[in-house]
A and B are shown apart, each in its own frame.
Chain A
Amino acid sequence: MTLEEQLQDAYEQAAERAPVSPGAYDRFLRRRAHHGRVVAATAGLALVAVLGAAVLVARQLPQEQEPAPPATAAEPTPRPHQWVYWKELRVEYGSRKPFTIELWDRVDGKKYARPTSNRRTGGVPKVRKERVDFPSMVSARWPRCPPGKREQLARIRPAVGLGHWFPNPAAVPTDPDGLLAAIYQLVEDPDCAPIPVGDTVQDRAFMLIDGMLQTVQPAEVHAALYQALAKIPGVTVVQGATDAAGRHGVAFTRAAAIEGPGSSDWLRLEIILDNNPRYLGARHVVTRDHHIPNVGGPGGTWNRKGQVLVSRAQLALAIVDAPCQRPGETTTCAAYVETTLVAGVSSRTRP
């Protein structure tokens, strides 16, 4: 090993020891208060919970479902060491251009991978491995979930199937009513729900199903989820919706507190499906003019009715054999970071 390689290795190992304590955004807000206007701390916290959830969802939990629904039924059960590939196109209000996100979750849920630049290596394969302490990640993202219940969340779960959300997936009914009842039960406690946002149980269930639909599930579970969606009070079906990739479908829309407590008053989530039905994408739409004081500038920020804060399109969902491998390709990305979730620092070992 050259000194350069040793150094890379040393930095990577050392960086694993960097502790990230919970409540970072809250501390940030307090600190920022000395420099200027502050957002209400509670709103900020709730939001970071949303973002945290989104990141979690994006990282190791959901994102699983085949690109084409007919394949779902025909596919053999993914093996634990295969990987779920997920790709999304995203357009965000105020950002200059759309961007795509690619992620790989190992089927057993213990690892995830994301591509990085191989500019410095000139195309030579470069893999960085790091470990993240899952329980402390969970504590940071569900700060109000009491110990005892938090352990449930901190259990590393498979990335495919209902076992990802439910402690006992075998007991979850796969008929629409039964499944919806089980989902309601799962999100009943706002502090410990898998998606720690949403003003009501129905609100949380609606957003959770959005996540579930983006994952690899047996065909009958997908079918039940689609039907359950329409059974949630307040959901309306709108024809002629378009996702971020320009694909047309039907939107299931409902008020949703995507941006933290109370935001269901001015925001709705549109889940867009095609006729198959297959999950296409979603949009976060402002439903009435809304002013957030002291944010984004001296005059605050106005969200105008009809504004689309986020528009996304799921471009791919597939099972592949290796991290950072794309469907139809036999090789992996030249450079990627592979993260292993561990429970407790004491389990740290050399990769």
Chain B
Amino acid sequence: MATDEDFRGFFAQHYERLCRLGFLLTADPAQAEDLAQDALVRTWRRWRLVGKPDNPETYARKVLVNRHRSLLRRALVEARYRYRDHPNQEGSSDEHHEDAIVLWAATRRLPPRQQAVLVLRYYEDLSEAEIARVLGIPAGTVKTLARRGLARLRRSLDTTPQGDTVSSKERP
């Protein structure tokens, strides 16, 4: 049986990272923390009742991503996720920086599963097999979702109105 000390160590090690993952999915700091806390509480319960998961980090991520997806399904919730960017923020004149924010915003308009696959692949650096484990779907589906997500992202950027778009010179 794992001790609480183990879990404290795990918490200290992974809390920030989970917050960042939550933030990338929600763009809402409070919601991000909420997801991270929730994922850790659930991980702790599993840890205490059944024993330490084989890979607690994967387990916590899985809880977080799935929890986010189920929240997204509730239609009205999404409005709360909109990141309110500060137009006067330093660096907003930086074209590259601006592009990144627009691109990130575009990922958040994707369907939840595509969004999750992209975050896990391009931020968490997980392999297809690992993403499949986290989301509980076949590896082939992961591949499809990633391809569709990227395609949709590309399309949405091409059609975004002027002034809110990624400069086209950067794209192949």
The A-contacting residues of B in range 19-65, CB under 8 angstroms, are 19-20, 22-24, 27, 29, 32-33, 37-38, 40-41, 44-45, 48
Q: How far is the CA of A338 from the CA of B100 in the complex (A)?
A: 19
Closest to A299 in B: B1
Known: A20-B16, A292-B4. A14 touches B24 (CB 8 A): yes
Among B1, B9, B91, B171, the residue within 8 A (CB) of A297 is: B1
B11 to A28, Cβ gap below 8 A?
Answer: yes
Q: Does A117 contact B (CB under 8 A)?
A: yes
Tally inter-chain residue pairs, CB-CB below 8 A.
137
Residues of A within 8 Å of B171, CB to CB, are: 3
Q: Does A239 contact B (CB under 8 A)?
A: no
The B-contacting residues of A in range 246-292, CB under 8 angstroms, are 259, 292
Chain A's interface size range is: 35 or more
Among A8, A297, A350, the residue within 8 A (CB) of B96 is: A350
A31 to B172, Cβ gap below 8 A?
Answer: no
Among B12, B97, B103, the residue within 8 A (CB) of A350 is: B97
Closest to A95 in B: B6
Chain B's interface size range is: 35 or more
The A-contacting residues of B in range 58-95, CB under 8 angstroms, are 90-91, 94
B8 to A25, Cβ gap below 8 A?
Answer: yes
Q: How far is the CA of A17 from the CA of B19 in the complex (A)?
A: 11
A48 to B12, Cβ gap below 8 A?
Answer: yes
Residues of B within 8 Å of A119, CB to CB, are: 125, 127
Residues of B within 8 Å of A3, CB to CB, are: 150, 153-154, 171
Among B6, B9, B100, the residue within 8 A (CB) of A13 is: B100
How many Å from the CB of B139 to the closest CB on chain A? 14
A18 to B20, Cβ gap below 8 A?
Answer: yes
Most chain A CB atoms below 10 A, which of B15, B38, B104, B153:
B104
Q: Does A329 contact B (CB under 8 A)?
A: no
Q: How far is the CA of A10 from the CA of B83 in the complex (A)?
A: 14
